[in-house]
Structure 1
Amino acid sequence: MSDVVRTQTAPAPVGAYPHARRVGNLLFLSGVGPREPHTNRIPGNVYDVEGRLMSYDIEQQCRQVFANVRAVLEASGARWEDLVDVTVFLTDMSHDFPTYNRLYADYFKGVDACRTTLGITSLPTPIAIELKCIAALPPATN
């Protein structure tokens, strides 16, 4: 069984892919960033008059990306507690990791998901964090 998940409760993907895909009892989320649903605004980003990114707030972006992951999970019939693996991409590991790690500990309290955090040079849009998640679900009933 394979089901594609698309939802209006999370920001639209920035490419030709679904929010998630269920294969058997596993749910694979596409990369989820911190854009706000319906507006595509990136919380905490500050731009100059010419539209260049001047600064960002990693705490605001973390809170939004966690909310977006939750929205995709719920649209898929999953719960936060179903997460089994989380891969996190940060564009400024040395600066942002302490804040992200503190918030992660709060949001993931009681969730025993495996986690990998990678420092990367950039993401396709002016975001500082993106999550790639896998959840384990109970068998689907038809």
Structure 2
Amino acid sequence: MSDQDSIVNSGKAPKPVGLYPHARRVGNLLFLSGVGPRSATSKEIPGVTLDDAGNVVDYDIEAQCHSVFQNVRHILEEAGSSWEKLVDVTVFLTNIPDDFKAYNKVYAEYFADNQPARTTVEINRLPTPIAIELKCIATIE
């Protein structure tokens, strides 16, 4: 497998905001780049209301969770992996005090059967006006 063959990009997930692929395969592991809740087909961010200047006025963390999980699923499937093959998830939240309970509830819905290792950290901000981003590792055959 050449370096180019190991690169995965999905048309069903939002385009990366920089020079990096959605995922990279190394052996039987698939490393996903940071994935957010942005829509793949528009500039919309599910659950986010912006003012005319592009500042966040309001957001719904549950809507963003559902969207980011769907984006991760699209990338996994495009690469030939699946949700059930996730082994490690790092979650970046911009507001743990207000969002952790709702995020944890939605997370439990998606990961009831498959329970990958998980780390959740609070960060000051993300490159786009989103409140959650995931960094994942999955197995692939």
**TM-score, scaled relative to structure 1:** 0.94
Could you list the per-position Cα deviations for residues 25-77 of structure 1 after superposition, in whole angstroms to 9, with x for gaps in the alignment? 00000000000111031011112233321111101100000000000000000
Q: CA deviation at 1:134?
A: 0.1
- Per the alignment, residue 18 of structure 1 pairs with 21
Give, in whole Å, the separation in 1 of the partners of 2:43 and 2:13: 10
Matched, 1:81 2:84: yes
Q: Count residues with an aligned counterpart.
A: 138
Matched, 1:98 2:96: no
Unaligned runs of 5+ in 2: none
Q: Name the aligned partner's letter for residue 103 of structure 1.
A: V
- Per the alignment, residue 9 of structure 1 pairs with 12
Q: CA deviation at 1:113?
A: 0.4
Matched, 1:51 2:54: yes
Give, in whole Å, the separation in 2 of the partners of 1:69 and 1:116: 16
Give, in whole Å, the separation in 2 of the partners of 1:49 and 1:23: 43
SS at match of 2:41: coil
- Per the alignment, residue 122 of structure 1 pairs with 125
Give, in whole Å, the separation in 2 of the partners of 1:76 and 1:57: 29
Give, in whole Å, the separation in 2 of the partners of 1:136 and 1:50: 41
Q: Name the aligned partner's letter for residue 20 of structure 2.
A: Y
Give, in whole Å, the separation in 2 of the partners of 1:87 and 1:49: 32
Q: Name the aligned partner's letter for residue 51 of structure 2.
A: D
Q: CA deviation at 1:97?
A: 0.3
**TM-score, scaled relative to structure 2:** 0.94
Q: CA deviation at 1:137?
A: 1.8
Could you list the per-position Cα deviations for residues 4-28 of structure 1 after superposition, in whole angstroms to 9, with x for gaps in the alignment? 0011110000100000000000000
Give, in whole Å, the separation in 2 of the partners of 1:73 and 1:102: 22
- Per the alignment, residue 70 of structure 2 pairs with 67
